[in-house]
Amino acid sequence: MRKTLFIAATLLAAGVAHAQPYPNRPVKVVIPWPPGQATDLAARIIGQKLQEEFGQPFIMENKPGAGGSIGSMDVIRAAPDGYTLLAASSGPLSVKPNLEKVAYDATKDLAGISLTALAPFALVSAPSFAPNSAKDLVALVKASPDKYAFSSSGTGATAHIFSEMLLTATGMKARHVPYKGSAPALTDVMNGSINFTIETVASVVGHIKNGRLKAFGVTTAKRSSALPDVPTIEEAVGIKGYDNAAWIGYAAPAGTPKEILDRISAGIRKASAMPDVKERYLTLGMETAATTPAELDGLMKSELARYGQAIKAAGIKID
């Protein structure tokens, strides 16, 4: 009799646990980048808020490699139950598939949950570079095709693509000098070896404030909260529709139940509205952003196509 009661109680407890709303156990968030990278920092800030909201641990697991592909595939292969999520970003999901063969189709293999952040970029040069405005820079470079050079953190990097999009939109022709990372690319701009570059606001804001770089414009349609006095490139040059930022968000394996996606998305939207989250993102040179799952699905599709068009137009290829 006692054994029968124990079994019944165990089954009842299991049924209650199953009936509890998601999540009723820890959630793993795979970050396909090393610690300290923008996607990592953005995911951790939101993950902490989701943990507080849902009362379950959101465990961050860094799994870098192959430009974000390894960690992304880890999530794609996971059970679509909401307990393995991806710290998603434009690099591996919007850019990389247009440059080289990958084993996934993000628009089919992942379900969007919500954006968490947008990372604007800025057009900068050394203070000694002659132009004092974006219009002056465009006029100078257009007047001497291929005389001037711009750097990037690597061929096919987001910064490279945004620069090529600016060249195309303005008719400028300049030489591309790729580096292995944004730090050396910026160093040679600051010492005058390279004329200009487009890099993340996060990586240039300190150099702008200490006078080692001057800013001509930011790449987004709205001014950056981190650089409120710097105009947008759209307003500074008159390029209608020039609106570019790297995106960061949360995604799940395709097939994850809609009610789970909606629940996490609502938590992210709530977190994104919190002043302390906005402030922490601001210190990182990012802007908070939040969407519904359907909106992020649409963004992933449109960004994949948009980057593809830009890469093809500029003839960017990975050797």
**pLDDT at residue 169 greater than cutoff 60:** yes
**pLDDT at residue 9 greater than cutoff 80:** no
Q: What is the pLDDT of residue 2?
A: 47
Domains along the chain? 24-118+245-314 (3.40.190.150), 120-237 (3.40.190.10)
Give mean pLDDT, residues 286-313: 96
Whole-model pTM: value is: 0.88
Average pLDDT over the chain, rounded to an integer: 93
Q: What is the pLDDT of residue 318?
A: 86
Q: Could you read off the pLDDT of 197-237 as tens digits, one per residue?
A: 999 999 999 999 999 999 999 999 999 999 999 999 999 99
Q: Could you read off the pLDDT of 38-52 as tens digits, one per residue?
A: 999 999 999 999 999
Give mean pLDDT, residues 69-85: 97
Q: Could you read off the pLDDT of 102-155 as tens digits, one per residue?
A: 999 999 999 999 999 999 999 999 999 999 999 999 999 999 999 999 999 999
Q: Could you read off the pLDDT of 123-134 as tens digits, one per residue?
A: 999 999 999 999
Q: Which long-range contacts (CB under 8 A, 24 or more apart) does 136-144 make?
A: 137/196, 137/216, 138/170, 138/172, 138/237, 141/172, 141/173, 141/174, 141/195, 142/170, 142/171, 142/172, 142/173
| Element of type H or E holding 182 | helix 182-190
Q: What is the pLDDT of residue 19?
A: 56
